[in-house]
Structure 1
């Protein structure tokens, strides 16, 4: 008997079966169940066509109905259910020109990328495995469904997905798959960089990141990836430097920026179309690391890192310098600070303006706040409005003289 999250889909599958249709769990959830690792979202495949599903279920959303996918809402749960299908030609090396609905689960599984993702499972736990996925799980190898050339010329992103799965599962890439990636790796140029970005971040988070990086090197796929292709030594530097998964995307970008000889953070942001938020976070961690290399651990450093980024900062230090610093060390220093952010100062920019109503607003306000902030942090000025005001007036008098 299957446990969660599969049992949550019992009503959906039972309804389809009670009405004469087939329905199976497919894809990653089946793979992860067999590997006994945490299971994420579950996908369901059925021989019911989209219009038939819409009639059977009261609460539905036609999220991808042209490709056979219907979102079925059951209580507080929702499931993507897709009609068995085969696909037409892939003229752009990424998406099929057409899909055709079929009634045979084996045909549906034949269009999938890798054998370990081409298995189906019934609600009772019976496995349909026409392409040897279970054997390949035992062998810990990545094999394509059918010829690697066919799968990769259909969808070039699958080559990077092979590397990502090598990292995610700590599997090796089968020899014929490895050779095909070498031959067809250049087709990755037809894939949107945003999709490449997603797969790379997943690779860096993998429990077998070392294996993933070795696979990236052995397949030579890096030669077709933005920035990597112009700096062949970067993958070797990653293999030599990175020992463990990197769970934080900002740390990934900071690491790439530090290890790259030819590209800075802005280059990575631009090449992979990273968000402004991720750019700010990566830049922050990078600046804190630079300050650490210059001055070591200090109250000022801890203040600049901020509590929210302690784990990210320490992760970067460990990756680059192999130095293990306990989070508690930073937390203790942080809790002892006279202020923990600029908002804790006893005065604001508006207060400074009120102290000097005849002086025009300008850069001097930010400059004064920075000076106040540093003096308070260093213990040279008490965080007291009266004392701060006296100090600021002395500065103004000195400027006047």
Structure 2
């Protein structure tokens, strides 16, 4: 049975009120592919006002575009009115939306045939554009004329190759040709939208094929940043995470972390991750990791670095288990793990806080890390008072 009990209740209540309501979108596609559906959406012949009249608990998400959030037994469910759309002068949003009562008219405005499917509560699949046949043949095909769909929203071209990556499908010939002709329109898109699609693309098992298509369809020339040596980037796919994909772009393109972060408006956390990869990649090109390297890094960062060392530089890499063991063997993993704090040092020496305190804690941290002393308060006190201070 498709959908949650709450989503089925929403459809039942809309039906009882005299309105048609069906499941639509990617969740239907995934269900027909035998995957666990997520982000379940409902489309209906009811207008937003009519939807709100049926349910007590609703939130307006964009009633001008027909979407109402229905809260049913605590579960939020998006319900959108059937609609047709006018011109897309900004290549993103329709200039005009008109509500309709025809499900087929609503499905006609969708991007690809595999997404233009609807599922009735009784299990009947509504498929006016042969989306099920394209699911069977593993094909990404635009609904109607591909040129019209991509002129409406240029992001659909990147979505097409994202679906290739995630689903392992092929691009239908005319759809691919239309992308090649209109690829320049990607320059009109906001970087944030492009970045979101690439995050999803990088998660796909067929990311290598998708990146190859980005080059073949000339989308590469319209992107904010793309490596000259694109074959090297393509060969480094698939990726275990979106951040591995961004790190691979950085290294294969010989870009700085700051360049990638700026071009694709990465978050501060993502920028810091790329900076760490950039640093340790440079280290590994020259030598093996030291205790300090393991201490200052983490398993995820070093695993990404090792993949790049193998696939980009052709060097022998360090296995993940070796990295994990090396980090696990460290006596401490941060300064916070030390058995002493500055307050104890001031008590031991009867000194006030000052530059000496930070230097002393740094020395203790280094001694514990290199196992010159154990991470024990008494052992640290003995070493600090009789060896470290004596040297000073």
Q: Same fold (TM over 0.5)?
A: yes
Give the alignment partner of residue 238 of structure 1, picking from 233, 244, 264: 233
Please say if residues 110 and 145 of structure 1, whose CA atoms lie closer than 8 Å, have aligned partners that are also in contact: yes
CA contact (8 A) 2:7 2:77 kept: yes
Sort the Cα spacing of 1:113 and 1:389 in 2 relative to 1 into closer, same or farther, 3 A: farther
Q: Report the secondary structure of 1:188's partner residue.
A: helix
Query: Over residues 32-88 of structure 1, what are the superposed CA-to-partner deviations in whole Å (9 max), with x where a residue is unaligned?
Result: 111112321111100011111111001111111111111111113221000001111
Match of 1:166 among 150, 164, 167: 164
SS in 2 for 1:51: helix
Give 1:220 deviation, angstroms. Answer: 1.4
CA distance in 2, matches of 1:368, 1:329: 32
Identify the residue that residue 334 of structure 2 maps to in structure 1. 341
What corresponds to 1:318 in structure 2? 307
| 2:296 alignment partner in structure 1 | 304
Greater CA drift, 86-95 or 311-320: 311-320
| Alignment partners' CA distance in 2, 1:258 and 1:367 | 36
Q: Which runs of 5+ in 1 are unaligned?
A: none
- Listed one character per residue, the Cα deviations across residues 2-53 of structure 1 (whole Å, up to 9, x for unaligned) are 24x3444111000011111111111101111111123211111000111111
CA distance in 1, matches of 2:336, 2:67: 50
- Look up the SS of the partner of 1:181 in the other structure: helix
Residue of structure 2 in register with 1:22 after alignment: 20
Decide which of 277, 282, 287 is 2:269's aligned counterpart: 277
CA distance in structure 2 between the partners assigned to 1:265 and 1:184 by the alignment: 30
The one of 65, 68, 71 aligned to 1:70: 68
Residue 327 of structure 1, CA deviation: 4.3
Q: Are the structure 2 counterparts of residues 186 and 351 from structure 1 closer, same or farther at C-alpha, using a change threshold of 3 Å?
A: farther
What's the secondary structure of 1:96's corresponding residue? coil
* Alignment correspondent of 2:197: 199
Structure 2: distance between partners of 1:352 and 1:282: 37
SS at match of 2:101: coil
> Structure 1 stretch 249-258 or stretch 287-296: which is displaced more?
287-296
**Given that residues 27 and 120 in structure 1 are in contact (C-alpha distance below 8 angstroms), is that contact kept between their aligned partners in structure 2?**
yes
Shift of 1:360: 7.1
Gaps of 5+ in 2: none
Q: Secondary structure of the equivalent of 2:249?
A: helix
Partner Cα distance (2:357, 2:252) in 1: 38
CA distance in 2 between partners of 1:220 and 1:156 (Å) = 13
Aligned partner of residue 205 in structure 2, secondary structure: coil
Comparing 284-293 with 13-22, greater Cα deviation is found at 284-293
User: Deviation of residue 326 (structure 1)?
Assistant: 5.0
Task: Determine helix, strand or coil for the equivalent of 1:151.
Answer: helix
Separation (CA, whole Å) in 2 of partners of 1:111 and 1:17: 23
Residues 235-283 of structure 1, C-alpha deviations (whole Å, 9 max, x = no match): 31112222x2332x3322222221113x211000111111111112232
In the aligned structure 1, how far is the partner of 2:75 from the partner of 2:59?
A: 13
Structure 1 pair 116–356 and aligned structure 2 pair: CA distance change class (3 A): same
Q: What is the aligned partner in structure 1 of residue 246 from structure 2?
A: 253
1:332 to 325, 328, 338: 325
For the residues of structure 2 that align with 1:319 and 1:124, how far apart are their CA atoms? Answer: 50
Listed one character per residue, the Cα deviations across residues 365-390 of structure 1 (whole Å, up to 9, x for unaligned) are 55544443233222234433311344
Is 1:379 the counterpart of 2:379 in the alignment? Answer: no
Cα pair 1:178 1:218 within 8 Å, conserved: no
Equivalent-residue separation in structure 1 for 2:28 and 2:307 (angstroms): 35
Mapped contact 2:141–2:172 kept (Cα < 8 A): yes
TM-score computed with the length of structure 1 as normaliser = 0.88
For the pair 1:128 / 2:126, whether they are aligned, the reply is: yes
Offset from partner CA, 1:269-328 (integer Å, 9 cap, x none) = 11111111111223234434444444435543332224xxx1443244235415675544
More displaced, 349-358 or 25-34?
Answer: 349-358
Conserved? CA contact 1:23–1:47, under 8 Å: yes
Q: Quick one: distance in 1 between partners of 2:185 and 2:210?
A: 20
1-structure distance, mates of 2:273, 2:182? 35
Contact 1:168-1:203 within 8 A present in 2 as well: yes
Partners of 1:171 and 1:98 in 2: CA distance: 33
Q: Secondary structure at the match of 2:92?
A: coil
Give the structure 2 partner of residue 88 of structure 1. Answer: 86
Q: 1:339 to 1:57 in 2, by over 3 A?
A: same
Question: Aligned partners of 1:88, 1:357: CA distance in 2, in Å?
Answer: 78
Closer/same/farther in 2, CA of residues 355 and 192 from structure 1, 3 Å limit: farther
- Structure 2 counterpart SS, 1:90: coil
